[in-house]
Structure 1
Amino acid sequence: MKWFIYVIVLVYMFYRAVYGAEGNALEIIPISYPDGLNYLPSGSRLTITCKLNNRNQKVEWLDPEKEVVTHNTTNRVYSHRRIAPSSAKTSPFLLTFTRAVVDDSGVYTCQSEREKKEISLCVLDAARFVDTPREEFVDKGRSFTLSCRVRGDPQPVLIWSKNQRELYDDKLTSKYKIFEKFNHDGYESLLTVTSVTPEDSGSYTCTAVQENVLVDDCSLVDSINITLQVNYAPEFEGGSDTSMIFANYNDTVNMDCSVSAFPKPTYKWFHDVGDSTLFQYPSKQIKLLEDETIARLTLVADSLSFGQKFTCKAANDLGESHKDFVLVKLGRPEAPVEVYVAKALQSELIFNFTFNEESSPFDIIQAQLKFSGDPDRRPRETEWRRGSRTVDLEVLEDNAGLYKLPKLEAETKYWVRFRTKNDHGYSPWSDPHSVSTRADEEPTSTEEVAEETTTEEVAKAEEEIGEEDSLSDGTFYGIFFAGGIFVLAFVCMFVMRMV
């Protein structure tokens, strides 16, 4: 009989060892936040469920401070056990928040006699922008302050940006000033833009960043855009200097008048008929394009319009601006009046040209080059015809003012001259220039070309000044030495005559 009891106990212990651990496993149901949020809004009700497959074991909930959450249902946060049917295999243990607050955030623990499981709770009082205007207006030259006011818990950090570039309190240029304060409406950040220009117009973003330090990955980011409109009088891009419009006889010519201004300007076109008299074109003859930012006057180029002056006037409440256009008959282009070597490389040269403002536009620019036997002697015209080649220059895409002469030999001297071409023919050749390529290869970035050009110009100027100084010093000492010899010879001759 005794052995029979031992066998029963052994079988029971073996059953508990094999099946008991699996049957007593804890499981916490993941938190499902409302409306697809990744946090629980402050003031919400929430119940967290912990399951255990053994109805007889004791289960407790611990708060983030590892204190046991009591079963007192009158508390704002309490634990309790849901009564399940006797046939149910699991027994749920619940942790209920009747009205969650931000300080409830943290890691909660469900523990039984054998194990424990943890779950993180994130509670936020989401930031809300209050009394923050979406659009502001300011006149050019004045300073203006943008206000961003927000409520929320934890206290948000407010960040200003424009065009995805964060703005700081700029102590060097004093362009931006940022000041923060508390008031009865919440936390406020003030961004002052000083001496506003049209470039300061645009959308400014105030971003509120909330982070609950009690829980990892418990944060919220929200933002609001504030548009700043700078009021200013019309301004022509590139200035108000007279523009030359080139056309062929009987061509239809579009004269486009475009300014930057706010508010939008009104446009008027005039024709100078002489004696300071202007003829105003009717509005139906003026076409507004691209959201009324361009006023186009269409004419036919003929003997009555060539050489005539046309004036566009743009005006708004802050002022008026005008620009003159002269219609010029298109003819053969002119050669460049000045040629600069912007950069010399191993297999190419990069040039910059200056043209006469009244020269007709051209389609291509060509270079004629030949090897330089004597860089001090310009080739004769017959030599250009016999031993030279003509190449079309390439326009650098990132800067239309620079042209590239490719496929040259390294460390070689050339004579080169230039001409332009359009539908009316070629220009004459420019004066020849002596140029040379380098021995080593260097990159051809346009920014590097511009930077090196400036550096070379400065270095050349300094070298010229140094040469002038050196020449002046040498001349001075030479004259001093010759004068000394002359005085010494005169003294020797005087002594010899005395003797």
Structure 2
Amino acid sequence: MKWLFYLIVLVYMLYRAVYAKETNRVTVDKIDYYRKSPFWKAGSRHSINCKGSSKSQKIEWTDPAGKAIKQIPSNRVYALEHTVPSPAGRIPASLLHFKSVTLDDTGLYTCRSGDSSDHAEVCVIDPVVFKNIRTEVTADLGRSITLNCHAKGNPEPRIQWKRNDNLINEGEDDTKYKLNTKFSSDGFESSLTIFSLTSEDSGLYSCVAIQENTEQCKHSNYVNTTLNVNHAPIFEDGNDTELVYGRFNQSINLVCSARGYPAPTYRWFSNINDSTLIEFDKKQIEFNQEANTAILTVTVNQTETFKCSAKNEYGEAEKDFKLVETTTNPAGGFEIQYLHVSGFKEEPSENDWKNGELVTKEFPISDDDPDFKGSITKLSELEKNMNYWVRIRVSNSAGVSTWSTPIQIGALTENEDLQEEPQDEEISTERSKSIAVGNSDVTFYGIFFAGGILVVAAVCMFVMRMV
């Protein structure tokens, strides 16, 4: 039976030769940064643990410069050997400890045991603090105003200004904006001056502070200031009479909405003739302060004209809505306008829409199809996997409607839904092929390994007999 003993020793030696490296591997625990702050705050205390895999391992840490970190607890940064439990018993580990992290501690730390190593990327930042920021300011039409931002942190922050999430570039429009930044012992002070204010300048302005310790270690934070420009109410689509079509006895919602600051108050009138107006009771009007609208619900029974008045302390604007009774839907078309969502966290203003893409479509409607309620069109210019703000308006021989309330949509790849099932089948087929190939490989190597053992056993028996 000596040959069996020799065979077992030989197989064990082969196993050790093949898998010795794996038994000496090391694993570094993932650094658990705070979700909103992917860095360690300067001055804080932290530790990183590295675990081995076998009892006989020797583990050491090296810093970003490649120098070994000593096991001296009196140092600010030191390594500490200990053991941790595992299914095979307690195994060695090493704890890299920072008593108080500094910006210079940023970098790649390596845990090593023999030829095995693992890494931990450390990022240290003293996050920026904003001071003396006004969250809301108000200015008169035609005046100029300066918004100030005071930020302090380490690394020293780089300041950017944005309006409604759109970057304001220095020198882009010197007649409209002026940027100025200066450094003091108390941090960076940046100012944005806006000249000749118009109603379109109202919005959300953001002071963004960007800190860069290394290419991999960055952080940014921002603070917002809302600018309100005092101005009289303005109807976005102009003051021209708006034609509203409806069938006899159909209920129609007339929506009045004007932009102004302070927010305007609304009144609805029935326009009997050029000199006679009858005001509707406020109980008959649906006011929505958040959407800044006043909705009047009327019934179509004849051609009538209604007037909406929007007023604040800086002026008043009026708009007529003409109700037209019709038995069919007039032939016409529609326009679709869209903007990338990435440029606008909030709903774009009318001025922002001026830069939007415009798509015009026509759809004929005949008297034979009085129940026509819509049309389907494909926007082929959209980029896949992108989100857009979209609005629409329709037109006919009598005029053009107002723009609809913008909504957000996501662009899909062409025929994505139709290809879903074939893709699943294809994936299933590929997986089946992979499994078949995997099983084939396992079978081959299993037979090869078993055959090798038999050959070795036969050789051992032959040698023993010769001896």
TM-score (norm 1): 0.51
Offset, 1:28: 4.5
Match of 2:93 in 1: 92
Q: Which amino acid aligns with 2:317?
A: S
Change (3 A) 1:257 1:30: closer
Match of 2:141 in 1: 140
1:219 aligns with 2:215: no
Match of 1:316 among 312, 316, 319: 312
Offset, 1:99: 1.1
Change (3 A) 1:195 1:118: same
Deviations 1:346-375 (A, max 9, x none): xxxxxxxxxxxxxxx9824xxxxxxxxxxx
Q: Which amino acid aligns with 1:320?
A: E
Q: Which amino acid aligns with 2:123?
A: C
Change (3 A) 1:331 1:62: closer
Match of 1:293 in 2: 293
Q: Which amino acid aligns with 2:314?
A: L
Deviates more, 1:121-130 or 1:51-60: 51-60
CA distance in 1, matches of 2:40, 2:252: 66
Deviates more, 1:49-58 or 1:189-198: 49-58
CA distance in 1, matches of 2:252, 2:81: 88
Q: Aligned residues: percent identity?
A: 31
- Does the Cα contact within 8 Å between 2:251 and 2:297 map onto a contact in 1? no
CA distance in 2, matches of 1:267, 1:146: 32
CA distance in 2, matches of 1:235, 1:94: 66
Alignment of 1:277-288 (within 5 A): 281=279, 283-284=281-282, 287-288=285-286
- Does the Cα contact within 8 Å between 2:271 and 2:278 map onto a contact in 1? no
Alignment of 1:287-366 (within 5 A): 287-291=285-289, 292-294=292-294, 296=296, 312-323=308-319, 325=320, 363-364=330-331
CA distance in 1, matches of 2:239, 2:263: 18
Deviations 1:352-409 (A, max 9, x none): xxxxxxxxx9824xxxxxxxxxxxxxxxxxxxxxxxxxxxxx6364599989799xxx
Instruction: Tell me which of the two structures has the higher relative contact order, counting C-alpha pairs closer than 8 angstroms and 6 or more residues apart.
Output: 2
Match of 1:27 in 2: 26
Match of 1:413 in 2: none
CA distance in 2, matches of 1:194, 1:162: 14
Deviations 1:144-190 (A, max 9, x none): 33334433322333333344432212444632322223345533433
Match of 2:46 in 1: 46
CA distance in 2, matches of 1:282, 1:23: 84
Deviations 1:26-82 (A, max 9, x none): 624234324456432322222233456788887654332334434432222223334
Q: Which amino acid aligns with 2:231?
A: Y
Alignment of 1:267-286 (within 5 A): 267-269=266-268, 281=279, 283-284=281-282
Match of 1:264 in 2: 263
Offset, 1:290: 4.3
Match of 2:64 in 1: 64
Offset, 1:270: 5.9
CA distance in 2, matches of 1:207, 1:75: 37
Q: Which amino acid aligns with 2:333?
A: V
Q: Secondary structure at the match of 1:217?
A: coil
Match of 1:233 in 2: 232
Deviations 1:79-111 (A, max 9, x none): 3334899x9764333321111112111223445
Q: Secondary structure at the match of 1:180?
A: strand
1:174 aligns with 2:175: yes
Deviations 1:386-444 (A, max 9, x none): xxxxxxxx6364599989799xxxxxxxxxxxxx999xxxxxxxxxxxxxxxxxxxxxx
Q: Secondary structure at the match of 1:100?
A: coil
- Does the Cα contact within 8 Å between 2:161 and 2:207 map onto a contact in 1? yes
Q: Which amino acid aligns with 1:287?
A: I
Q: Secondary structure at the match of 2:104?
A: helix
Q: Secondary structure at the match of 1:230?
A: strand
Alignment of 1:85-234 (within 5 A): 90-110=91-111, 118-172=119-173, 174-183=175-184, 185-213=186-214, 217-234=216-233
- Does the Cα contact within 8 Å between 1:249 and 1:329 map onto a contact in 2? no
Match of 2:391 in 1: none
Deviates more, 1:174-183 or 1:59-68: 59-68
- Does the Cα contact within 8 Å between 1:252 and 1:301 map onto a contact in 2? no
Q: Secondary structure at the match of 1:320?
A: strand
Offset, 1:255: 6.5
CA distance in 2, matches of 1:23, 1:269: 81
Total equivalences in the alignment: 333
1:395 aligns with 2:333: yes
CA distance in 1, matches of 2:104, 2:201: 42
CA distance in 2, matches of 1:242, 1:53: 80
Change (3 A) 1:230 1:52: same
Q: Secondary structure at the match of 1:125?
A: strand
- Does the Cα contact within 8 Å between 2:83 and 2:91 map onto a contact in 1? no
CA distance in 2, matches of 1:363, 1:54: 83
Change (3 A) 1:241 1:396: closer
Q: Secondary structure at the match of 1:120?
A: strand
CA distance in 2, matches of 1:132, 1:188: 11
- Does the Cα contact within 8 Å between 1:132 and 1:149 map onto a contact in 2? yes
Q: Secondary structure at the match of 1:64?
A: coil
Q: Which amino acid aligns with 1:92?
A: A
Gaps of 5+ in 1: 1-10, 333-360, 365-393, 407-419, 423-499
Offset, 1:131: 3.6
- Does the Cα contact within 8 Å between 2:46 and 2:99 map onto a contact in 1? yes
Which has the greater radius of gyration?
1
Deviations 1:464-488 (A, max 9, x none): xxxxxxxxxxxxxxxxxxxxxxxxx
CA distance in 2, matches of 1:270, 1:237: 20
Q: Which amino acid aligns with 1:395?
A: G
Change (3 A) 1:421 1:182: same
Q: Which amino acid aligns with 1:363?
A: P
Change (3 A) 1:140 1:299: farther
Q: Secondary structure at the match of 1:103?
A: helix
Change (3 A) 1:259 1:115: closer
- Does the Cα contact within 8 Å between 1:81 and 1:94 map onto a contact in 2? yes
CA distance in 1, matches of 2:159, 2:118: 37
- Does the Cα contact within 8 Å between 1:160 and 1:166 map onto a contact in 2? yes
Deviates more, 1:278-287 or 1:126-135: 278-287
CA distance in 2, matches of 1:113, 1:273: 95
